[in-house]
Amino acid sequence: MASARPAAGAKANTARRAPKAESHLAMVRRARRINRELAEVYPYAHPELDFRNPFELLVATVLSAQTTDLRVNQTTPALFAAYPTPEDMAAAVPEEMEEIIRPTGFFRAKTKSLLGLSAALRDEFGGEVPGRLEDLVKLPGVGRKTANVVLGNAFGVPGITVDTHFGRLVRRWKWTDEEDPVKVEAVVAGIFPKSEWTMLSHRVVFHGRRICHARKPACGACPIAPLCPSYGEGETDPEKARKLLKYEMGGYPGQRLSPPADYPGKPAPALGAE
């Protein structure tokens, strides 16, 4: 009897056949499922900057450029003790402010931005942080990312925060291949309802900081691995992957000195106590 096996050439052709492309609808469904899974993994996701009011959050977010939220949180207590209001900060001696915020890096440029935005708040907004995107982005040192952080977390206005973690993960998950943060924001905004934007941002950033790292993602310890088209870029061995986990996932403190009450990890150490 003749064999029913396909010819060797047919096998080769089958092996070379490209995988079926994911439809946009399938991608949207997968993206929304990832968001639901992350909500279960990080029910306590929150902004990782310490703040008590919109002004403190605005200042802390400006300081967070090119440094960690932890370093900002360790620096802002002294800063806000010295300059608790926009009026106080606008009147600061630049050299004295520079010395306080030096641990955050780029302290001269950041001082210039803080003095400028504080003066603008004093002179143009009555000493109050505005609650509109178009007003916030006019302030010195404030772009869309900073504005969305402030709107989402100080005013309850939904916004997508595209930082380095967010951009890296949405590209790994094949939600978009855009590199420009504004374009990334627009694409992701079209995938999720507006009500999800702020918490989605927190969940994605939490995941990027704790598991899906830039250089060596902990793929073998990732709870959404079955949904990730980039699985295997990092360590897939479960035991080795678990050793890569950061912050509370690995038993270490997170970024905040004053975390929310439901945060499962320890508070971060104060400056000089690491």
DSSP sequence for 81-140: HH--SHHHHHT--HHHHHHHHGGGS-HHHHHHHHHHHHHHHHHHSTTS--SSHHHHTTST
Rounded mean pLDDT of the chain? 93
Phi and psi (nearest 5°) for 150?
-65, -45
Considering just the CA atoms, what is the radius of gyration of the chain in Å?
A: 22
Select which of 50, 69, 163, 240 is catalytic: 163
Give the confidence band of 19 by pLDDT, cuts at 50, 70, 90: low
Query: What percentage of residues in the chain have a pLDDT greater than 90?
Result: 90
- C-alpha to C-alpha distance for 174 and 58, rounded to whole angstroms: 31
Does the active-site annotation cover 237?
no
Give the pLDDT confidence score for residue 118 in this predicted structure.
Answer: 98
Q: Residue 55 above 90 pLDDT?
A: yes
Q: Residue 1 above 70 pLDDT?
A: no
What is the mean pLDDT of the segment spanning 8-14?
44
What is the mean pLDDT of the segment spanning 58-87?
97
Does the model's pTM come out above 0.85? yes
What is the mean pLDDT of the segment spanning 133-159?
96
Does the active-site annotation cover 163?
yes
- C-alpha to C-alpha distance for 169 and 80, rounded to whole angstroms: 33
Select which of 69, 112, 145, 237 is catalytic: 145
| CA dihedral over 257, 57, 264, 229, signed as positive or negative | negative
Give the pLDDT confidence score for residue 272 in this predicted structure.
Answer: 81
Give the pLDDT confidence score for residue 274 in this predicted structure.
Answer: 66
